[in-house]
Structure formats: C-alpha cells, structure tokens
Structure 1
Amino acid sequence: MDSGEFGVVKELLLQVMASDNEVRREAENKLTQVRQANFDKYFAYMVTGFADQGVDLRARAMALILLRRDILENNHEEPSVWSKLTGETREYIKAQILEVLANETDPLIVNKIAEFAAKIAIAINDVNYNDIWLDLFNLCKRLISEGNETQTKAGLVVYAEAMNGLSNEIVVNDADLYAMFEVTLKNENIEISLASLKAIRQFLTTVMPKHAIRFVGLLGDMVNISVRAIKSCEYKVLEESMEVLIAIIEAEPKFFLNDFPDLLQVFTSISEQSQHLNETLKKLPVELLISIVERDSSLLTRNEDYLKQILDLTFTLILEEAESDTIVFGRKFMDRLCSCASAEYILAPICTLVKQAVDHKDWKQKQAGLNAFSQIGEYVSEIEQISEMIPTVIEHCKHEHPKVRHAAVHCLGQFATDLKHQLTENYHEAIIPTLYEAMNDKVNRVKAHASGCMSNFLENASQEIGLKYCEGLLGHLFKLIKSESGYLAANAVTCIASLAQSCDQEFNAYFDSFCNELLPIITQKVPKDFRRFKGQAIESLTISAVCIGLDNFRFHSEKVAKALILILKNHLDEIGDPQRKYILGGFQRLALIMEKEFAPILPEIMPDILKMASLYPKFRSTLKVPNISENYDEDQDLMNEDTNPDESDEIEEIDIITQILCVFIDELKELYAPYIEQTSELFVSLSTFSHSDKVRQNASECLPKILKIVKKCENENMRAQLYGEKFIDILYGNLKIEGNVSVMKYQINAIKDCIDEVGDFLSEDQINQMSEVLVEMISKSDRRKDLNNKFHNENGQGESEIDEMNRGFLDEENQEEDDLQISISETFGVIFKTHKNKCGVLASNLLSDLVSSYIDENASFAKQKFGVYLICDAVEYLGPDILGTKYQDCLSTFVRLSKSTDPLVRHGSVYGLGVSSITGGDLFAQYSVDALEILKEAIEMEPGSQDISYYNHARDNAVSAFAKILKYQHAPIDTEAAFEYLLQHVPLRHDMIESKLTTNFIIDTALNNPTLFTSNDHQNTPQLITFIQNLSTSSLASTTLTNLQLLLSSLSSDPTAHRLLSDANISLPLQHP
C-alpha cells in the first residue's frame, strides 16, 4: 500500500466532516476520483482507515460509514459491489474486520464493526449461497464465552445483525447456537442478557418456523429478563425486553401459546408492579398479552377467566384521573380485544364491566366505563345489542364532571362512526339536541369534542335529517368558528363540511353565507396554533363546493379560487405547516369539480406548487448514492449515524403533490400542456423516491398520461416519440432495481402504456433486450412464489388461527406475484400489437421456452392463465403469418383449456378461440366444428364452486366466441342450428363489450339474411323475438338502435313474425329512454 496516498486519504476523510461546505465537496470529489481510478485500492484504503488505531477516531468512523454505504447500501447494483472486488481485496477486508473485532478497545468502533461484519457476511452469502463466513462466527463465539463485556455484546450484535439474512443458514451450520443463547440469557450482567434476547428476536423473526420451534425451551429465560429487570429496578431494560418479546410474538406467535397461562401470571404481576411507573411501562405488559391472544383468539373464547383478567388489566389503563396517554392505550387495547374475540364472547363481559363502572358513584369509574364502552360499536352488528345503554350515555352528557361529559360525548361520536345509519336513523331526535347542548358547554374541551362528534353523526345522516337540523346548527357553528380556541374552531368548521355532505346539493342555499363567514377569516394570516383550523377551513369549504355541484358552485368559484391563491402565495410557512397539505387538497377538489374550467387557475398556482415539489432534493434520488457529507455530523453520536430525523411531513407533502398533479393531468388533459416539461422532470425524478411506494407508483403511472398529452398537442409524433423513449428508458432502469412487487406492477403498466401510446418505435434488438429482462422478472417472481409455497408446505399445515393467518399472507403475496406476471403478459401483448413485424423471434422464444411450461396440464391455474393470456395476444396481433407453425399449437391450447374448471383460464381460452376465428382465416376452418362443440361445453358448464362473477364473464366470452366463429367461419357449419343455439344464450349480461359485439352481429345478420330466422316454418323466429324483447334499448349505440328498427320493420312485413312481435308487445319506433 502506498503510504503517501493513504496519508492523503486519511486527510480527505477528515475534510469530509469539515464545517466548510466547499472543503467538504472538494474532499468528496477527490474520494470519488480515487474510487473511480482504482476500485480495489479505494476499498483497501477505507478498510485500513477504520482498522488503524493510530488514525483519528472521527476519520475511522467516516471510513466505516463509507464502506457500509459503498458495499451495502448499493446492493441493488448488478453485479453487487462485493462481487466486483477482487478475491485479494475481499480477503483483506475480511482479515481486517476479524482483527479489529478481536482487538479494538473503543466501544463505539467495536459495536459498529460488529454490525458491519454481519452485513459483510450477508453480502458474501448473497454472492454464493453456500458460503458461510464461519471464521467470523467462530470468533464471535469465542468473544461471547471468553471476552469482556464489550466483546461479548459485540459478538451478540454480529449474530443479531447476521440473522437478518442468514438465520436459516446459521441454524443449520451452528450446532452450538442453542447453548450460546441459553448461557448468555442467564448471564449475571442483565445488559448482556438483553443483547442475547435481541439476537434471539432477530433469529426468531427471520428463521423458518420449523427451526424456531426447536428453541422454545429458551422462553422461560427470555421472559425472566423482564422479571429480573423489574425486581432490580432496571426500567430501561424492562421496557426494551418487553418490546423485544412483543416483536417476537408478532413474528412467531406459536412460540408463546403453550405457555400462555404462565405468561398471563407473570405479566399480570409486572403490570401491577408498573402502576407507579411511566406510561410506557404501564401499557407494555398489557400490550404483550393482547398481542398473544390476537394471534389465537381461542385463548379467550375457550377460557372466560383469561378474558376477564385481560379486560381488567385493560380497564385499569383507562381508569386514569390525569390527562394521560394510558387512556388512549387502554382504548386501543380494548378495541384490539373486541377485534380478536367476536361479539358473541366479549360483548357480555364488557357490558357488565361498563355498567358496573357507569353506575359507580366515583366519576373516574364512570369516565373509564364510558371510554371502554366507546370501543365496542365497531363490533356490534345490530344496534339492539347495546340499545339499552344508549340512554345512559346520553344522560351522562349532562353529568356534573366535565371529564364524564367528555367521555359520554366521545362515546356517541364513536358510535356514530361505527354504527353509522343505524344510530342516525334511530336516535337523531335524542342525540342531535344532546350534542347541540354539549356544543354550548362551559368547558371548551367538551364543547370542541361535541362539535367533532356532531360531525361524525352528520357524516352518516340522510339528506332528510341533515336538512331538518341544518339551519339551526349552522348559526351556532358560525359562532364557534370564530372561537379563540383553534381546536374548537377546527372541529366546528369540519362539522359544517359534514353537514354539507348530508344536505348534498341542497346545501347550496347556505353556501353563500358560509363563504361570507369563512373567507374573511381564512384570507387573514393566523397565529401558529390556528393553522390547523385554517387548513380544515379550506378543506371544509372545498368539500362543500363539491357537494353543491359545479352548476351551483360556478357563481362562487372565482372568489374561492382567489382566496386559495392568496393563501398559497402569502400565508404558507416552513415544512410542517399544516396549511400546506390542506391548500393542495383544496386545489385538487376544485380541479375535480371544475374540470376544464379549472385551467385558467393553473398559471396562478403551478409555479408555487412546482416550487414546493422542488424543496426536497435530499429525497429526490434516494436510490442513488447520497453525498458523503450527509452521512456524518461531528456533533452526532456515532452510534446513531444512520438515524434520520422525522421526515414524515415532507414525505406526506410530496405524496400529496404527486396526487394533485395526477388529478390536474386527468381532468385538464391537453390544457395542462404548458407544464408538461417541468412535470415530466419532476415525475422522472420521483420515480426513484425510495421513501414512499405510493410516490413511486404515482410518478410511474402519470408518465404515460403525460405522453398522451404531448401526442395530442403536437402536430407530429416526433416529440411524443422522444418523450416515450425517455420515459421507457427511465422506467426500464427503475424496474431493474425496484424491490416492491406492487410498485413493479405500476412500472410495468407504465412501460406498456407508453409503448401503446407511441406505437412502433423500438428496434428489434431493443424489444429482445427488454423481453429478456421481463422474462427474468417472471423467473424471479416464480422463485418468490416457490419460496412462499415451500414455506407453507414446511410450516403452514396446521389448523390454528395463526396457520390460517399465515396462509392468508402467503396467498396475498402470491396474488401480487400473479398480478405482476399478468401485467408482464399484457406488456408483451402491447409489443405484439405495436411492433408486429419485429416480434417473430420474440414470439417463437416465448412460446417455446416460457409459455409451454405455463400451459402444461399440471401447471397451476395462475400459470395457465398467464400462458393463455399471452397466447391470446400473440394470436390476435401476430396471426399465422408471424407465428407460423406455432399458430396451430396455440389453437390446440385454446381447445384443451376451454374445458378448464378455472373460470379465468377458461375465459382466456374461449376468447382465444373467438379471436383465432378472425385471424386464422382458412387455417381455422378445420377447427370450426370442433371449436363450436367445445364452446357449447364451456357455455353449459355448471358454476359449482367457481367465483360467480368470473364464471359469468367466462360464459359470456364463450357465447361471444361462438358468435365470432359464425361470423368469420362459414363452411362446414350448420348455420341455422348454430343460430338456434346462439339465440338461447343471448343477450349477454356481464361482459358488456362482448355483449355489444354479439348483439350487433345478430341484428346485422338478421337484417341481411332474414331467411336464417324465418325459414323452416319460422323455427328461429320466436328465439329472435325473445332476444329483441330482452334487449335494453338504453344501452344500445345509436347505429345499433337504427339497425334494430330496420330489422323490426322488415320482420313486421312477415305475418308470422308480425304476430309474434305483437304478442311480445314490441312496436316501432324504438327510442332511447
């Protein structure tokens, strides 16, 4: 190693942390140059930088941070950074890690190197699944058994971190794992015991259940850490140990079920001893027990004592005199109990508990009883189950103690949300006056909460109820929105929006008064504690505008828009100001109601909205490498160098901005064209926004919509093609690094829509390269499904609620994979459609290498569906000229799978037969008669246990395919008999597209060839008349209706047909209703 160069690197590591931004940037650039000049040398320098104890501690820490970033955070790269290093460099890194881990004395560096070592072990295994870094784990076991406290903790940290990617490999290769955990859990140093528990958490939350169950014998020692902690007043350890146990319960609940009676006893005792401690320690023992019973409700439904004991613990949390979060926790826990144990089991004991509390003289008992009672409404199917308690709740809205009044009001508001129309329809005459009186309470908190609960009530009220109370309520609400309490004013203005929703368009009579009251308030700057009120006022005003409809709102639109523009330009403050998201939502609602009339407002607001979107450069490209200087703050504890500040407000705002721009594009279409350039740059940037799946989805989804506007606005297709190439290139790149299956689907669909919009612009090489990536995505998707199925086969055969829940999760994941594959299939279809003459090789390869295994008779229905859909597109868009001999293979597949008992597979297959009759010409003729018989079988198949909606659509498509064959294939079919059969199964009622096609075909055929229906003693005439009688003329296109009238006129000239028409009460002229 060049000592001179290394000296320069050490200096650069310190300069990266300099306070001078110019110095930082220059150091970053120089380190980047070193990395680019010699990849391996750069990593060797970084390793030496953290390993050399003679180097400044800050520089050592920065070297470690850079290594973690370069090797681990860029793991989306293919090939990975680790795999690109030479074998010599990799061995050097491993040797230095082991050396530092064994000999380092600084606790911060030891801890960080332990985490880094574990990540390297995972990186090694990612490159070679058979490569387990045994030297590392052997060293860790030695440190754990022989080292000092720092080294023991470091060894456990390695195991904990490595479990994230290697848990199954470790348990298979490490026979001493159980013994190691057993010893460290019992260590006299409770901090080491806690570190061991954390390692076990990582193990149990990632390992296969079949391995996890072998470690159930450790449960007693795991739980005993909490017992030891409360006895020794180690409250931080107590809190962390219970949080770790809860995390394990959520991942591996079976671990705890057999020992639940003992666990209930232990944590009831801890709960009782925690009552004098902080709120977190009060709630954790109860949360732990509820977390267990949530996973297996039979623990409660089969043992009433368990249920009562946990109810009592939960009620204790609610029974608080002071303002406390434990009341909120108690309500949530009560809600979770109600959710996991059905009303059949839990309603009676809760009602008994509540009645005893409410009848108690102590106001605290009454408050707790009402708070508990408020949580059960969601789980009550009929209001009669609790109707006898409602008068008691109403009565307590007038109790002398304000906290009891508040709890009773809250109860009514919660019931309004949960019971909806059942409560409003049956109790509005008692509840609305009660809440109105509470809105005049002398205590502002009760008054404000009553306004919020009135809002809940009105949200579910009918228009009749809303109008009955509207005028009386509005006068009082107008006074409350001028309150000196921002909380009260905000609830009051939200209540007005709920009132508008119940009155719907009839609220127009009051909208002008609402504007006159509200606009002078919101167009003024307000104190910081009133910003949320102002935001909710904007929301209320724009919701009310939507309610009254555009025709009524048009008169007010200018003054409302001007008020919102004023706020946008002059009243918004820094990130976190609640007005920001409300003003964005307000403009979104105006765009939805005004549609293209919103266009003149855009020039006033778009610069500000785009500026708001540009405030987040640090978020913009988070799948790329961040600046070095962002990874270190010299005033920050090195232990927390990866911790980010709370960024939820910023992320939420970016999400809202993407949504509002999507709405503008949807509603304004070509009128949005002036902002296409900036918007496309923004969405391209946000398409890699790793902080929010939703933002990436929105950004991807909107790119083809932008393309559509460009294409519509340009006289030539060149600019649209340039945009299309750019968007597809971006989406294609994002797709290769995306880890979320749902987002992948959006990206695939966006690529598909872009190709569909631009048309034939890809070269054959580009098509083949893209197809290779798509096929590889299918393979990876199949591997993920295989892993899920393997997990289910090895671990999910039980019949418990937990097993059922796990199966549900796996089914959801597999369904997402199936949806992704269908999107890929549709993308191939669009490529076939738009690039027909460049798809010969692609289609041949797909049908031979991929689809053949998917349409095998032993393949799953999901795979068969994918295969059939792809074949349908190939047949429809490429035809026999491109497919050659593969075309007949496709037809044979359609014939075979048209008999499938899966309605989606059958749907695709029968549709394929219909399309083949169009594209196949004479080649299809040899299949015509057999195809009609196959379709008859599909039409007449009984639904059995099939999903009835899918079944009906499959049946409609079979009938439509039957009609297509009659239309496009003539000989050697018995046409009259075939039409007689067809008329028995029309009109179609479910697939409306196929229904229109089939209806038009029958009418046109009857009009142009009437003898088909009137010959042979009018054999088919009655069925034709019945078909016409059953048509819904309101759904017919004007040309179809005209042809139908011509047909009726023609039939009327035939005496027999005329009589049948008269008997069916069908006469001319037919008109749209």
Structure 2
Amino acid sequence: KGEVAAELLRRFEAEPVPKLQKKIGEVVAKLAEYVCDKDDPRGSLAPGQGCGWPGLLEMVFRMADPSSSPSKEACESSLRLLTALVPTLKDDIVAAKQQLGQILQLGLLHADLKIKTAGVLLICEIVGETDKKAWAPLAQTAGVVVQVLTQLAAANEEEMLQECVQSLIDVASLEPDFFKAQLQLNMEPAKFMATVARTREGIDGGLRNLALEWLVTFVEKRQKWLTKNCKDYHGLVLQACMDLMLEVEDGQEELKAWAERMDDEEGEEDEDELFHAGEEAIDRVAEAVSMETLGQALFQLIGHFCAQAPWQAKHAGLAAIKQTVEYVEEKAHVDEMTKMLLQHVDHPHPRVRYTALHAIGQLANDQAPTFQESWHQTVMPCLLKKMDDECDRVAAMAMSAFVSFGEELDNSLMAGYAGGFMQKLVAKLQATKHRGVREESITSIGVIAGVIEKDFSQYYDGIMPMLKQFVMHATGEKENRLRGKSFECMSLLGIAVGKEKFLPDAGEAIQAMMRTQLQDDDIQREYIKEASERICHCLKKDFAPFLPNLLQGIFRSLKLEEIAAADPQNQAPSGHQNDDEDDDDAYIQVSTGDGKLVRVRTTKFEEMMQSVQLLHTFVTEMEGAYFDWVAPTAEVLVPLLSSTDEISMLCDEVRGIALQTWSLLIKSARQGGEERNQGTGLAQELLKTGLMHTFTVLEKNQEPEMLSETASGITECIKNVGPGILGPQEVQQLVEKAFLLMEQ
C-alpha cells in the first residue's frame, strides 16, 4: 500500500501531460479518502502521524505554489488536487496558513487564467468545507475573485467561468456571509452576475442561468441582511429575472409549434429555457422577500415591461404577474394587476393573450374568493368571449382560467352565468376536434355542476350522452386524459343532481371504467379512482350492485405475492435482472408478515395505495351495506397490516391507510351484523386479528411517527367494535401494551 502511494506521488510529480497528471491527481485524492480518514485510522500509511500519508501535502503544497512549481501546467494540476483533498484534509490544509496564503496570493495574481481559476475553486472549496472561524481570513479575497471572473469573461473563457460561478453558488448556499463585506463595498459579485445574466449576445445560456442562480440563492439565504444593507440588490435581481424572461422564440415556425402543442405534452420545458429560468427565479425571489420590501421595484418593472411595444416585453411582464401574485397582499395591488391582465387578453400575439389568461387563472387560485367577488362582472364575460379565440390553445387556456375562477365563485353568482357558459361549452364540444379544448370544456362543465349542484339538472340530459360518447370513442393513445376527464365530469354531474337522477347512468360509467385497460403510469388511473369514489359517495348503499366486479380488480392489485410473481423482472434468472431501471421504477424487498419476502416495484405501491383508499371510501360511504364484502376485504388487507420493508416509507403509508380501513371494516361488520340479526361475531374476530398483526409490527418498528399512527388506528378499531365486546383479560392486555409503548 505504501509503495503504491509513493509511486502515485512520484508519477504525479513527473507526468508532463497535463490531462494525465490531473487523472493521476484524481486517483491520489480518492486514495487519500481511505488512507487519511481520521475516523478510521486502519488505512493509514503512518499510524499516529499527521495526515496518514507522509509527504502528500508537502509535495502538493510545493507544486501548487507558482514560485516553486516546475511548470504552470503542473501548478494548475496541483491546485486542483489540493482542492480535491480539502474535504479529507481540511484541518491540515487550513493549519498551514503561511503556505496556503502564499499559494492563493500568487495563484490569484498569476498571469495564467487556468491557475487563477484553480485558485478560485480552492477558495470556494475551503469556504464550503470549513467552519467560519477557519475561512474568515479568506473573505478578503472576494474582491480578487471578482477580478478573476471579469478577466475570464473578457477572455471568453466560458468553461472556466462556468466552473467558478458554480462553485460560488455552492458558497452562497453554504456560507453566504463570505460575500457580505464585498457586497457592502461595491455590490460585487452581484453586479457581475447580473451583467452576465442580462447579456444576450456572446454568452452561453447555461452560464446566464448559473449567474442568475447565484443572485437568487443569495437572496434566499440572506434576504433580511440585504434589505438592511444592500437596498439596490432586489431591483438588480428582479431586472435580471425579467431580462431572461424576454428570451422567447419569435419565428413563425416556433409560434406554429407552440400553438399546436398541448399543455400536457412534453417539450414545453425544453423550449424557451431562459424564459422558464427567469420565471422560476422571480417566483423564488418573491417567496423569499416580503412584498413590502419587493413590491415597489417589482410593480415598476412590470409596468415598464408591459408598456413596451415588443410582444416579448409584454409577455414577460404578464408572466411576472402570474409568478408573483400569490405573494401580493394589498387589494389595490391585486386590482392593478388585474387591470393590466385584462388589457392584454385581446393582444394580437397569441402568446400574450395566453399568458394574460393563464395569469388570471393563477390570480383566481391565489386570491380567492376576494378576487371573484370583486371582479366577476368583468372577468366572467371576458372568459366567455375568449373561449372563442381563434387560437385553440388560447381558447383552452380561457376555459382553464374559468375553472380556477369558477370553483371559488358563489353558487348564486354562478347560477346567473351558467346558461351562457353551458351554451358555449356544449357548442365547443360539438364543433371542435382540438383535444385541449375538449378536455377543458368537460372540466368547465364539471365545475359548473359542482358549484350550482341541483340547479344543474336542467342541463344533465343534454350533457350525459355526450360524455358517454367520449368515453366510448376517445380510445386513442393521446386521448387518455380526455376519457379521464369524461369520467370525472360524469361523477361530478352525479353528485350535483343526486342519486335518483344519476343511478341509471352510474352503472354505465362504472362498466366503462372497468373495461379500461390501464398501464402502470396511465393518467386515467387517478381519474377513475376519484370518479369511483364520487359515485359511491352519491349512491351510498345503492352502490352495492357494482361491488362484485369492482372488487375483483382491487383485490388483485393488493396481493403482494401475485404482484411480485407477475413481474417479468422477478421471473428472470437470478443475477439477470435488468438494472437499468428508472428511479421511479425501483424495487424494494418486502416482508409480507408471514415471513415471506417478495420483490415489488415501487410504482405498484402507488397503485396499492389508490386501491386501499378506494376500499376506505367504499366502506365509509356504504357502512353496513358493505357487510357481505367485509370478510374477503379483510382477507386481502391482513398481509398489509404487518408488511414491512427496510428502506422506504412505502409500506408504512400503505399499512397506515390499511389499518384505517380495517377499523371501518369493524364498524361495517358490527352495523351489518346487527341489521341482519347476525350479531357482532365478525366484528370481534376482526378486532382480534387486527390487534394481533399491528402489535407484531409495533414490536419491530419503534419510529415515533409510525407508533403514533398505529396507536390512532388501534383506537379507532376499539371504538368501532362498540361497547361490551372486549373482556377483562383483553382490556388488561391492551392497557399493558399501551404502557409499554409509552415507556418506549
């Protein structure tokens, strides 16, 4: 081991090719992690002596010092090696104050930009890895660091500049105080970063984004200090955000592609990346800084951009409203923003109209119900008109804004508008082939039904057949959301008009949902789950005829062993499983409670969670009417009550909802048994079984949160079984167990 280490140092020192020298340096740094580990001295090359690798730092210090390094290339390689050694040997490196000081001083003042860059990276690493007392003397280098950044920018050395800015972001996140003195002196490096972020020509977009990230990170970490000591900083960062938000494609082909893209299709985030970066950044700034501090600069900038002639400037101003309106508290400011948005809903450029409507929808979400109460007389007619926009994507956004606005509108007000909107939405459904307009039309109808409830009956007979048609004929790959929204709307209409009117159609809806072939990540899955829950909520005990077919599929999705056996990955020979799986599709090893271990995909747990939640809803809504299905449901849930895994919370989540459902099964068994004159035997048996399995888990898992949730579930089980069921001996056992848990 010692010979290998010595040979590595010799080769590093002698290697004339910079690229190879740096690679050897990476190996040296990696070996140092092992041999210089002070928490585990077993790997040390010199037990009880210094850093554990005699001669390492001595050689690196000598070669990193420009005055003693054999070449400028070797100096840069050594500075980078020293930087890589900081996490392992920070105490030894910082302790060598004189040597370190000379290395940094000469390195930062060196004529070679690569050496300057390596010096900046070394400073950043030391500041990030050590405590404030250790790095405090380095704060005086901040001014020189800014000079290096400026020189790199002037020389168009973007790769090195990007490396430096990324390291400075890490410092701003970990030790933002490093920059305080320099910011107070001359607002650097904030001014430099803002200049880079705002420069449209000759600078890579990724670098501009990084510069903005530094500005925003510092705001998030030290917003109170900035408010007190650097009052111009907020205006600087807001201007940088807004300038990035000007970066939207302007060609006819790009506009055509934008207009034809659906809101739910991938690719939007890949277009106009700098615009989206600016959008996200201005949201983060508004969240970090109070509107009292930020408001004046923000509102001035929005007004300035919206007043400019180019559509991109107006688009940026409206997008800024959309991103920040959540944090606006004064009604006068909300009203001003609203007026500005309404002024642009008829702008000639579709993206400006779209963003104005998008922002109105955001306003409706963030400022409800005050916004609706104050502005419905202006906004509702505007949205009705914009549903006929010549650009389908804009028309769909008008409907989306209506959904947000309408959900929080008083039902008496919605009743007054319902006729006009229903006429428009039905016409749209009948005339358009645009998937986005269809989806939002259906959602809008569902909102009207949900708000005016019984008064929706007059529209029911005209709408329900159309929804059935969509469910039957919208079978294309891209029409899953349309079918899902149709199911959603059917169930919302059922809730609105009530059981008597809805019952004949409910059966058809459930049959259609059951016939739907679902993929693992199918968007319809959540829609179908929620629609099933709403239908059950509407029908209550009359939901019983639909249970036999529904429960078959639900029960299948909850059997861990069958799920594991059906997975092709688990059928592969041992050692031949495909390791190239998505993180979301990772596997976990699960104990089923009876000692069996099965390997289950994490995505299957999400499906299981939905299935147990469905059962929870069915039992809650049907109560005693669920009696005939209590025993088979309990049989499926028993393994989940005691399932555990070692590495995730997934089992805990499923087990928690399974225990809640179990307590409801006990209640259903008691009520159903009494209604049928069959007594409470089944309820008693369920209580005993449930307690036995949950106590088994409690003995294995001592997590306070899990203990609390399980104790709560046990309490509900005991409450729901009713009085006079537990005997003295069972009560005593329970009390003893409770005291034992309290002690733990």
Structure 2 length-normalised TM: 0.71
Aligned equivalents of 1:596, 1:100: Cα separation in 2: 81
How far apart are residue 661 of structure 1 and its match? 0.8
1:676 alignment partner in structure 2: 634
The question of whether the paired residues in 2 share the 8 Å contact of 1:405 and 1:446 is answered with yes
**Alignment correspondent of 2:317:** 369
Confirm or deny: 8 A CA contact 1:539 1:582 kept in the other structure.
yes
- Residue 654 in structure 1 maps to residue 605 in structure 2: yes
Deviation at 1:363, TM superposition (A): 2.5
Cα offset, 1:265, TM superposition = 1.6
CA distance in 2: counterparts of 1:603 and 1:112, whole angstroms: 64
Task: Determine the structure 1 residue equivalent to 2:677.
Answer: none
Return the offset for 1:373. Answer: 3.0
Preserved CA contact (<8 Å) 1:193 1:225? no
Match of 1:464 among 394, 397, 412: 412
The CA deviation string for residues 301-328 of structure 1, in whole angstroms up to 9 with x for no partner, is 7655333322221211122341513323
**Take 1:753 and 1:139, find their aligned partners in 2: how far apart are those partners?**
63
- Report what 1:776 is aligned to: none
Q: Which residue of 2 aligns with 1:305?
A: 232
Report if aligned partners of 2:238, 2:282 keep a CA contact under 8 Å in 1.
yes
Cα distance in structure 2, aligned partners of 1:119 and 1:595:
65
Seen in structure 2, the aligned counterparts of structure 1 residues 753 and 833 have a Cα distance that, compared at 3 Å, is farther
How far has the Cα of 1:732 moved from its partner?
A: 3.7
Shift of 1:594: 4.6
> Tell me, which stretches of 5 or more residues in structure 2 are unaligned?
13-19, 65-73, 250-270, 568-573, 588-600, 621-626, 670-679, 720-728
Alignment of 1:936-1015 (within 5 A): none
In structure 1, the residue matched to 2:506 is 557
Contact 2:128–2:175 (Cα < 8 Å) also in 1? no
In the alignment, what sits opposite 1:318? 245
Alpha carbons 1:301, 1:341 under 8 Å: kept: no
Amino acid at match of 1:329: A
The verdict on how the C-alpha distance between 1:708 and 1:435 changes in structure 2, with shifts beyond 3 A counting, is closer
Aligned partners of 1:604 and 1:108: how far apart in 2?
Answer: 64
Instruction: Choose 1 or 2 for highest CA Rg.
Output: 1
> Are 2:279 and 1:331 equivalent residues in the alignment?
yes
User: Offset of 1:181 from its aligned partner?
Assistant: 10
Q: Distance in 2 between matches of 1:493 and 1:509?
A: 17
Check if 1:728 corresponds to 2:728: no
1:542 is matched by which residue type in structure 2? S
SS in 2 for 1:492: helix
Judged with a 3 Å threshold, the aligned counterparts in structure 2 of structure 1 residues 194 and 515 are, in CA distance, closer, same or farther, namely farther
Q: Match for 1:500 among 449, 455, 459?
A: 449
For the pair 1:520 / 2:443, whether they are aligned, the reply is no
Deviation at 1:123, TM superposition (A): 11
TM-score by length of 1: 0.51
TM-superposed CA distance for 1:420, in Å, is 1.7
SS in 1 for 2:347: coil
Q: Could you tell me which of 550, 558, 578 is aligned with 1:605?
A: 550
2:191 aligned to 240, 243, 265, which one? 265
Q: SS where residue 530 of structure 1 aligns?
A: helix
CA drift at 1:602? 4.1
Structure 1's 516 and 265: CA in aligned 2 closer, same or farther, altered over 3 A? same
Change (3 A) 1:136 1:126: closer
**Alpha carbons of 1:524 and 1:835: their partners in 2 closer, same or farther (altered >3 Å)?**
same
2:403 corresponds in structure 1 to 455
For residues 606 and 638 of structure 2, the distance between their equivalents in structure 1, rounded to whole angstroms, comes to 16
- Amino acid across the alignment from 1:252: E
1:648 and 1:493 map into 2 onto residues whose CA distance is 36
Please name the residue that 2:528 is paired with: 583
Match of 1:406 in 2: 354
Q: Is the 8 A contact 1:242 1:284 kept in 2?
A: yes
Question: For 1:676 and 1:366, how far apart are their aligned partners in 2?
Answer: 60
* Conserved? CA contact 2:454–2:498, under 8 Å: yes
Matched to 2:245, the amino acid is I
The correspondence of residues 779-794 of structure 1 with structure 2, limited to 5 A, is: none
For the structure 1 residues 467 and 225, does the alpha-carbon distance in structure 2 shift closer, same or farther, using more than 3 Å as the test?
farther
Provide the C-alpha distance between the structure 2 equivalents of 1:502 and 1:429, rounded to a whole number of angstroms. 17
Counterparts in 2 of 1:490 and 1:305: CA distance versus 1, 3 Å: same
Q: Is the 8 A contact 2:450 2:496 kept in 1?
A: yes
- Shift of the 171–106 alpha-carbon distance from structure 1 to 2, 3 Å rule, reads closer
| Cα distance in 1 for residues equivalent to 2:36 and 2:656 | 35
* 1:688 and 2:645 correspond: yes
Seen in structure 2, the aligned counterparts of structure 1 residues 101 and 325 have a Cα distance that, compared at 3 Å, is same
Post-superposition Cα deviations, 1:1022-1056, rounded to whole Å, max 9, x if no partner, equal xxxxxxxxxxxxxxxxxxxxxxxxxxxxxxxxxxx
CA distance in 1, matches of 2:577, 2:128: 29
- List aligned pairs for 1:415-814, cutoff 5 A: 415-481=363-429, 483-548=432-497, 553-567=502-516, 570=517, 572-573=518-519, 575-594=520-539, 597-609=542-554, 645=583, 647=585, 654-655=605-606, 657-665=608-616, 667-668=618-619, 671-682=629-640, 684-685=642-643, 687-688=644-645, 690=647, 693=649, 696-703=652-659, 705-706=661-662, 709=665, 715=682, 721=688, 724-735=691-702, 744-750=704-710, 753-754=713-714
How far apart are residue 558 of structure 1 and its match? 1.6
**1:290 aligned partner, one-letter code:** V
Q: Match of 1:658, as an amino acid? A: M
Superposed CA deviations along residues 624-681 of structure 1, whole A, max 9, x for unmatched, are xxx8666967xxxxxxxxx955559985773364154135236417644413343343
> Where do residues 345-356 of structure 1 align in structure 2 (5 Å cutoff)?
345-356=293-304
Task: Give the Cα separation in 1 of the matches to 2:738 and 2:640.
Answer: 34
Residue of structure 2 in register with 1:288 after alignment: 214
Identity of aligned residues (%): 19
Structure 2 vs 1, CA of residues 750 and 837 (structure 1 numbering), >3 Å: closer, same or farther? closer
Q: Structure 1 residues 407, 96: closer, same or farther in 2, change over 3 A?
A: farther
When residues 378 and 758 of structure 1 are mapped into structure 2, their CA distance, relative to the original with a 3 A threshold, is closer
State the distance in 2 between where 1:644 and 1:390 align. 43
- Structure 1 residues 231 and 578, CA gap change in structure 2 (3 angstroms): farther
Aligned partners of 2:666 and 2:683 also within 8 Å: no
Distance 1:628 1:594 in 2: 51
The answer (yes or no) to whether the contact 1:354–1:373 under 8 Å persists in 2 is yes
Partners of 2:545 and 2:7 lie apart in 1 by 66
Secondary structure at the counterpart of residue 461 of structure 1: coil
C-alpha deviation, 1:464, in angstroms = 1.6
1:728 counterpart letter in structure 2 = F
Counterpart of 2:379, as a letter, is: I
Contact 2:372-2:409 at 8 Å conserved across structures: yes
Write the distance in 2 (CA, Å) between the matches of 1:295 and 1:702: 42
* Aligned pairs for 1:76-91 within 5 A: none
Which residue does 2:255 correspond to in 1? Answer: none
Q: Give the length in aligned residue pairs.
A: 643
1:242 to 157, 165, 171: 165
Q: In the superposition, relative to structure 1, how do residues 411 and 749 fare at CA in structure 2: closer, same or farther (>3 Å)?
A: closer
For residues 432 and 285 of structure 1, the distance between their equivalents in structure 2, rounded to whole angstroms, comes to 42
User: Alpha-carbon deviations, 1:939-973, whole Å to 9, x = none?
Assistant: xxxxxxxxxxxxxxxxxxxxxxxxxxxxxxxxxxx
Decide whether aligned partners of structure 1 residues 498 and 719 sit closer, same or farther in structure 2, where only a CA change above 3 A counts: closer
8 Å Cα contact 1:227-1:270 kept in structure 2: no
DSSP 3-state at the match of 2:309: coil
Q: Separation in 1 of the partners of 2:308 and 2:50? A: 65
**Cross-structure match for 1:175:** 95
Alpha-carbon distance between aligned partners in 1 of 2:647 and 2:98, rounded to the nearest angstrom:
38
Cα distance, 1:521 vs structure 2: 0.9
Q: What is the CA distance between 1:458 and its match in structure 2?
A: 0.8
Tell me, in whole angstroms, the C-alpha distance in 2 between the residues paired with 1:235 and 1:252. Answer: 25
